[in-house]
Copies of this chain bind each other. A is one copy, B any other.
Amino acid sequence: MTPPLLERRQQLLSPSYRLFYDEPLHLASGQGAWLTDVQGRRFLDAYNNVVPAGHCHPRIVAAIVAQTERLNTHTRYLHDTIVDYADALLATFPFPAQATFTCSGSEANDLAIRIARHVTGGEGLIITENAYHGVTSSTAEISPSLGKSVNLGAHVRTVRAPAAGTDFAAGVRSAIADLQRHGIRPALLVVDTIFSSDGIFSDPAGFLVPAVEAIREAGGLFLADEVQPGFGRTGTHMWGFERHGIAPDMVSMGKPMGNGYPVAGLVCQPDVIRNFGSSIRYFNTFGGNPVAMAAALATLSVIQDEHLMENAHTVGTYLRAKLARHPAILDVRGAGLFIGAELADEAIATRVVNEMRARGVLISSSGPAGNVLKIRPPLIFSHEQADILNDTTEAALDVALSDL
């Protein structure tokens, strides 16, 4: 007799793997904002930003299928789609730039670190206190949210996240001074432009400006990590950095880029990448392959043609206003369909997340204290789905609070 799936998984996969929820979800299929498990039960997906156009969007599936049937090679041959996609992608940027494609956001951020160190001659990296930027050696060293068993790099300094009342730029200046006091030249300030793992901080728009000025004055570069906020999720702009009116030296992107197909990238200002690129070649076997580019091009077209950014703004504004009415929610933050709802503590947040899963709605929690509900549905999310999410949040909160 075959043992149950969970037991086989634990036997065959690395113990580093973790599952969501007290009662893990065993999935079979997905369509739009809905996932279906192997028992046929449906779940409203309000968490997976990897599918901005919804699960199995027909136009994106068709693009992947057509290219998979035709050709899949790599960037050492000429191919039209990578150039067409770069063209479409860079047209969404408010400044001239050049693209490099990778498989994952980790690889994009890791490449940005290589470039920054090459360009500046420095080693020092500045991040936020509970940042997450990836799982390669170099990006794990700048990802304190992975927990204390993963060491930060010796050349890494952390800054308090920009909660209300925090002078973020002052924190950056003080990190720069500390690096310099240790004889370490600052190379890079890295910021997830909506502070996804720090608890979601979006306002007031513009607070990043003096921080970026400070790192540049010290000879370092600024990387906007758009892996989570990018591609229209914040509702008013394609990229989170645009809300702040800044032009980053480098911009990384990933998760939603191919609506699930593995594809990510790094966009650099030409002055930043010129010297690195002339002396150092970069070849990523799967990065920028024809199928990945077809998936990314179709995803970007759907985001634009179906006005998903505008939908994220409308439905996000509606949803935040509804959530803000519940007295147990202490603060509702975010932009568009990237929403953080702060609760009293981690125990309540964990209880709410699991109770919502039991009631058929999927979200998660975040922040250094684990007390912020993280709500990040597909950008096709409707007002009706926002109502379901809000009603289920309220019901789960009532259960969680009555337990205490």
Which of the residues B12, B79, B292 comes within 8 Å of A99, measured between beta carbons?
B12
8 closest A-B pairs by beta carbon, nearest first, are A15-B277, A103-B103, A262-B286, A16-B282, A72-B260, A137-B138, A12-B86, A26-B78
In the bound complex, do residue B73 and residue A35 qualify as a contact, i.e. CB atoms below 8 Å apart?
yes
Which A residues are within 8 Å of any B CB, using their own CB?
A: 5-6, 8-9, 11-20, 24-30, 35, 48, 50-51, 55-56, 61, 64-65, 68-80, 82-83, 86-87, 90, 98-100, 102-107, 110-111, 113-114, 135-138, 140, 146-147, 149-150, 254-255, 260-263, 266, 268, 273-274, 276-287, 289, 291-292
CA distance A27 to B87 in the complex (A): 19
Question: How far does the Cβ of A130 sit from chain B's closest Cβ, in whole Å?
Answer: 15
A106 surroundings in chain B (CB, below 8 A): 107, 136, 284
CA of A24 to CA of B79, assembled, Å: 10
Copies of this protein in the complex: 2
Q: Which of the residues B14, B20, B283 comes within 8 Å of A76, measured between beta carbons? A: B20
Closest to A48 in B: B73
**A30 CB contacts on chain B under 8 angstroms:** 70-73
Q: Which of A69, A113, A285 has the most CB of B within 10 A?
A: A285
Chain B residues with Cβ below 8 Å from A292 are 262
- Whether A8 touches B83, Cβ cut-off 8 Å, given contacts A27-B77, A73-B27, A78-B27, is yes
Inter-chain CA distance A123–B111, complex, in Å, is 22
Give complex CA distance A355, B291 in Å.
29
Q: Select A25's contact among B24, B61, B77, beta carbons within 8 Å.
A: B77
Kindly provide the distance from the CB of A154 to the nearest chain B CB, expressed in whole angstroms.
12
- Asked if residues A14 and B135 are in contact (CB atoms below 8 Å), the reply is no
Residues in B whose Cβ lies below 8 Å from that of A107: 103-104, 106-107, 135-136
Q: Are A136 and B136 in contact (CB under 8 A)?
A: yes
Q: Which residue of B lies closest to A150 (CB)?
A: B280
B100, B105, B136, B147: the one contacting A281 at CB < 8 Å is B147
CA distance A137 to B153 in the complex (A): 13
Query: Among B35, B100, B138, B289, which residue has its beta carbon within 8 angstroms of that of A14?
Result: B100
B68→A61 contact, CB < 8 A: yes
The answer to whether A78 and B25 touch across the interface, beta carbons within 8 angstroms, is: yes
CB–CB B284/A24 < 8 A: no
